[in-house]
Amino acid sequence: MTLFPTVLFTASGGDPGTFLTSARNIGLPIRRFEKKDGTFCGEVSAFRYRDAARLARKSGLRLRAKGRTGLLYRLFFYRRRVGLLVGVMLFFVGLLFSQNFLWAIDVDPSPGVTESQVLAVLAEQGVRIGAYLPRTDLKAAALRARTELPGLSFFALNRIGSRVQAEMADADPPPQRPISSGTSPCNIVASREGILRQLEPYRGQTVARVGQSVAKGQLLVSGVVENADGRTSYQHASARILAETTRQKTFTLTLRQTHWEETGEQKARFRLDLFGRKWPLFLALPKFQTKEPYESRFQMKEYRLGSFAVGVEKETQIFLEEATNVFTEEEALLQLEATAESWEKALPGEMLSRERAAVCEDGEMTLTVTCILLEDIAKERPFDRQEALFPPEKAPEKSHQNRDDQFRMSRKQENSEENQRIRSINFRNQIN
């Protein structure tokens, strides 16, 4: 049903093509003009029905009004019932005016603040159920709540229609990585590349420093520790290492997309499930079997007569047609940004900064998102003795000897030098 009054008419005789052409030339819209039962019928605005009748006479057509429709035309019959009209008007006015009042407060509490505490503080600032929103300062209430509620680093009030959503974040530092209870020796390496910003070793020997750029898999904390007496012990290294990392992802959306949608036409047929077989309860109709594309949906119902069970399967074929969705560049960008926000929320660590670059080429919208994060990159790796004894920046290129072998070789060299010195002294004494 349309809003404005519309006249339903029939046309007979004359030339319908000339009538439609003349109506189009003067900007007269004729809707749903089609042939039914040997005559033509259509719709035209009630305000321009006389113009349509005048053009019909010039074309040799005879127009007859068959009925009127439209919301305003229906309301015309209630013009004498003033109370009813006033009630409808007051209802819509009240509905629009009610959007200015607060009807619900949604609170997403943090671990250190309860919902009742938040509602109590907001009520003191006038943010309560039934409050007149245009006269309520949500920014001031959010600022006051942040100062009165301890342990919050962020608090905001967002208005959504007649609802207010309270968002907050806990200011407590992230929990420290507990010292691993493992007993097998291991090292701590970088899980991804980045720039070290904080080092908190709990067990093991640190071989990296703050401000250093590290690569993925690089040794950060060694499980080999040299004691004060010069002996070497092997430990299960543990640490909390924060680094500045970079995450980048590209999202793409085709502006013109095709898909299948239901036409509204469907057919059903039934089968009897009996004795392990399915018996058709329909005649083979060529149209039902060959018309494509379609989607089949099945539904099974079971009927029992004592211990005897009979199943009836219903197959519904829903016919489909190909449809095309065309997105504007603005619509595509909004959809990609929503997808990017979901991806960003799943990223680990703390978001330091982000950059978004959108490009539209060849019918595709591409959004590239680059995020700078502060995350824990400490990763345990099974113990590698050679790597632990000789970190990458200190490891010999072609040496596979352990420290004991090196110590024995140095002692052997010292003994040989000492023996040579003794022989030279004895030789001088013999000469003298």
Where would I find the H helices in 155-263?
none
Same domain, 196 and 161: no
pLDDT > 80? residue 419: no
- Separation of alpha carbons 46 and 73, rounded Å: 9
Same domain, 236 and 273: no
Residue ranges of E strands in 186-237: 186-190, 194-203, 205-206, 213-214, 219-222, 224-226, 232-234
Angle, helices 49-58/16-25, rounded to nearest 10 degrees? 130
- Separation of alpha carbons 127 and 143, rounded Å: 13
CB-based contact 272:291 (threshold 8 Å)? no
Same domain, 142 and 278: no
> 75 — phi, psi (to 5°)?
-70, -20
Same domain, 110 and 153: yes
Residue ranges of E strands in 290-337: 294-305, 308-326
Q: In terms of residue numbers, what domain contains 158?
A: 104-170
Where would I find the H helices in 66-114?
71-76, 82-98
pLDDT of the residue at 95: 62
Task: Give the angle subtended at the CA of 305 by the CAs of 299 and 306, to the nearest 5°.
Answer: 125
CB-based contact 387:214 (threshold 8 Å)? no
- Separation of alpha carbons 279 and 274, rounded Å: 7
Model confidence at 242, pLDDT cuts 50, 70, 90, reads: very high
Same domain, 346 and 241: yes
Same domain, 245 and 273: no
Same domain, 361 and 250: yes
CB-based contact 404:274 (threshold 8 Å)? no
**Domain count of the chain?**
4
β-bridge pairing 163-170 and 104-107: parallel
**Domain-embedded: residue 247:** yes
pLDDT of the residue at 268: 86
Same domain, 248 and 351: yes
Same domain, 209 and 338: yes
**pLDDT tens digits for range 52-110:** 888 878 877 777 777 777 666 666 666 566 676 677 677 767 666 666 777 778 887 67
**pLDDT tens digits for range 129-142:** 778 878 888 888 88
Same domain, 119 and 246: no
pLDDT of the residue at 43: 81
In the predicted model, what is the mean pLDDT of residues 259-265?
81
**Domain-embedded: residue 179:** no
Structure tokens at 350: 């703390």
| Sole residue written with tokens 């009742």 | 116
Alpha-carbon separation of residue 341 from 138, 179, 272, 346, 376 (angstroms):
25, 34, 51, 9, 22
Look up the CATH number of the domain holding residue 25.
Answer: 3.30.70.120
Where would I find the H helices in 156-302?
286-290
pTM of this structure: 0.40
Q: Which residues of 303-315 are buried (b: 16+ CB within 10 A; e: fewer)?
A: eeeeeeeeebbeb
